[in-house]
Chain A
Amino acid sequence: MTKVKQQRMDSGLIPASATAEASSPVAALSSGHLRAALIGNPNTGKTTLFNALSGLRQRVGNYPGVTVETKKGQMCCSGQTFELIDLPGTYSLSPRSPDEMVAVDVILGRQQGEARPDVVISIVDASNLERNLYLTTQALELGVPVVVALNMIDVAAAQGIRIDAERLSRQLGVPVVAIQANKKKGLEALREAICRAASGEQSVSTPRLQSTGTCQRPAHRPPLFPEAFERAVQQLHQELGTDVPEYLVRRLVLDVGGWTEQRLVDQLGEGVRRKVQEVRERLAQAGCPVPAIEARVRYGWIREVTAGCIQRPAQRAVTWTDRIDRVLTHKVWGTLIFLVLMFLVFQAIFTWARPVMKGISDAKDALADLLRGPLPPGPLTSLLLDGVLEGVGAVVIFLPQILILFAFIAVLEDCGYMARAAFLMDKLMARCGLSGKSFIPLLSSIACAVPGILATRVIENRRDRLATILVAPLMSCSARLPVYILLIGAFLTGPGFAWWLPGLVMFALYAIGLVLAPLMALLLKRTLLRGETPVFVLEMPLYKIPSLRLVLRRMFDSGWAFLRRAGTLILASMIVVWALLYFPRGGGPEQLPYDVRLAAMQKELDDLKEQEQAGGINPSVLEDKEHQIHALMAEWKRQSYLGRMGKAIEPAVRPLGWDWKIGMAALASFPAREVVIGTLGIIYSAGKQDSDEIREAVNVADTPLARRLKEARWDDDPTRPVFTIPTALSLMVFFALCCQCASTLAVIRRETHSWRWPLFTFTYMTMLAYIGALTVYQIGRFLAG
């Protein structure tokens, strides 16, 4: 093993940092692990194999600047421990984006902090062997021993395809092990082959490297590119310097406009582009046109090495997948089934999650009540109860929806249906510059943008994925519902209003998102995310029964990722807003701070309640006390920093028909839209309001908050009510369009690995919301005369 590494170091193909780690026996011993990387086309059972080999202990990791995730696990085999890296599924090692570069960089040992793998496991689908071997031929050029895992032999056998693995191994020049990853068959043989290959006992040749830094091709080295091509690569390699691995020089020549080209031009200057163009022109003249040459050579070689290894029936058997697809991809029936399925998913996110969410919310309140008794009133108690506990509650409350959505996505994806759904919706989504894969994330965003954004991971195209992420928060999520219900209930129902008006307004508010999101996506694709529209190709995998383990794993991973990475940010923003509402807490030589006075009054109220139950006092005393508490609460919040900020921005929100109190409530609802209900409740002295109370109220107009809102008057003109119909509409439109949701922003930050996109989303949506609210209010006022 050391010998192999020594040779590699000598070849100079590895950058110094990686070389030091890889070649030092001490480093190898201290980490104690050999490393194996797993590559394969999508839908070849790669994840299943990874799970089968590595067991339960897995870590999900991200590399900086890319959106794909790699998983790591450990595999034991004849006393040795391997670190197993699951690289993102790919059809080739011809990187066209940073995401696709990850696999190449990891295998070449160029990924920061990662030693070069000792062996590459290339998993191939036996029922579609030739195409799958394309990736393997590229892996063979990377200078790391390769083991081919021939998966799904049972599926192939069912189609009458038989493969002679032994002969294939001889002709291919690397170990080939037939396996059935889902049934855990053949894994022992695979482990042994991996072990042997990693320790250099490979029976077949790996490229022999010479100390000059150039590669002498052994007779076996696959696949054979024409002599002219190899010469051109060698020459270019020398010109560029030997610290660029040879594989990347080949990619530079072969991938027109690929990521290798972009990266090397960035590193070495524009001269590279000119040089490569010259090389390509020369090659074209020599009968090796780029990029056609690559497919020709590789498939030609694949045909040679598979000769005599594959037995196929003369007539391709009609498979179950064919039969099912006749219905599921049918323009009418397929679409109908898809819509019904989506309705069920959607309904499940709404209804199944509701009781759990309510349970979480109740548990949080119960815990707060339990703690509020023994703890003395003061900043620390408030931080713990109103800041941290509320914040944790606000994070955990999303979990049921995320888990349910991901259970569905995992099942649909694992059984092979997701690709059909994308196929059916593609035409529609293409109109707004996206592809069919964006449909499910956008639809799920109607329930909640957070799981919706997480679901965009199925979109490989970077620009499409980003566009989908950026417009997903425009879909009207369930957190907007309480705001709509409250304002519609308070101002647009009752005598004098048509019975159909509330429904119509609600529909219009949802339609705003449904119409604007695709338009915005189109705009983004034409401006910021402009780029050539990729040819949309999507493989329809064979149908199979989803694996429960994979589904559970996927749910667990997505839930955990959300809690750990987005949760902290949500919590932080909740605490900031808490502090802005809490301080200054008043008090001085003569008077106690607000919270202490409130706590005392609350205790008095509780005592009064007990007396009332005993029948000792007049209920009006009780009401008076409640009013006093609400008034004091309102006074405290009005003079808080956030209250002052509300007053400061009043000139800006006045054109929307808002007074400073609404402005302040909008500011306070930055962490989560539904907070606006609670803040409006406090600021309008109606006591603390829960958005669930509004949602569940039989007659919203009768809730204390709705009554208070109707009574509200402008500070400078006590005869004029604040909440007119235009103001209510303006507030609703604002909340329909704004991105007052720290969770969404935190998830965007997590998924794009950059602050730029959450900032962009917040800015554009707030601008859109402001313009929308302004337009609605001004037109409304004009019409109302």
Chain B
Amino acid sequence: MNLDILLPLELLRPGEWADVAEVTGEASWVGRLAELGLRSGSRLRLLQAGWPCLLQVGGCRLSLRSEQGTQILVRPVAC
């Protein structure tokens, strides 16, 4: 797998690790996600795909359902 590509979070496969490259969307929600530790640069693991999906971010698990206009771009990493 080419590890330099950027993917939307939804395309990550369960169990895969990735670094967040960019969180776009309405400013206040980008802020809220950052408070929860989900921001560009943070490493995450997709535990369960779907809508909502289940993520491991830092020391915690987050369930996330993103709406249109909010997008999390990630860069998969081998881990």
A residues near B (Cβ < 8 Å) are: 91-92, 94, 96, 125, 127-131, 134-135, 159, 161, 254-258, 290-292, 294-295, 299, 321, 325, 329, 331, 419, 422-423, 426-427, 430, 435-436, 532-541
Contacts and interface: CB of A to CB of B under 8 A. Distances in A.
Contacts of B63: 419, 422-423, 426, 536-540
B67 interface: yes
Interface string B49-66: 011101000111111111
A539 B61 contact: yes
Given A257-B27, A423-B52, A430-B65, A91 B32 contact: yes
A292 B30 contact: yes
Contacts of B59: 125, 127-131, 159, 161
Contacts of B65: 426-427, 430, 435, 535-537
B62 A535 contact: no
Given A325-B61, A426-B52, A537 B27 contact: no
Q: List the 3 shortest-distance A-B pairs measured between CB atoms, nearest first.
A: A128-B59, A295-B34, A256-B27
A500 B36 CA distance: 54
A257 B26 CA distance: 10
Nearest to A134: B35
B28 interface: yes
Contacts of B33: 535, 537
A291 B28 contact: yes
A537 B32 contact: yes
Interface string B28-42: 111111111111110
B31 A295 contact: yes
Given A426-B65, A538-B62, A291 B36 contact: no
Contacts of B41: 299
Nearest to B22: A292
B36 A427 contact: no
B37, B65, B66 — which one has the most chain A CB atoms within 10 A of its CB? B65
A295 B20 CA distance: 14
A255 B29 CA distance: 10
Contacts of B35: 91-92, 94, 131, 134-135, 295
A606 to B, nearest CB: 65
Contacts of A423: 52, 54, 63
Contacts of B26: 256-257, 532
20 contacts: A91-B35, A128-B60, A134-B35, A255-B28, A257-B26, A291-B27, A299-B41, A331-B48, A422-B63, A423-B54, A426-B63, A427-B50, A427-B51, A430-B51, A435-B65, A533-B67, A535-B25, A535-B65, A537-B63, A538-B52
A690 to B, nearest CB: 47
B34 to A, nearest CB: 4
A538 B61 CA distance: 8
Contacts of A536: 52, 63-65
Given A430-B65, A540-B60, 15 more contacts: A91-B36, A128-B37, A128-B59, A291-B28, A291-B31, A292-B40, A295-B31, A295-B34, A419-B63, A423-B63, A427-B65, A435-B65, A535-B66, A535-B67, A537-B38
Given A131-B58, A426-B65, A257 B28 contact: yes
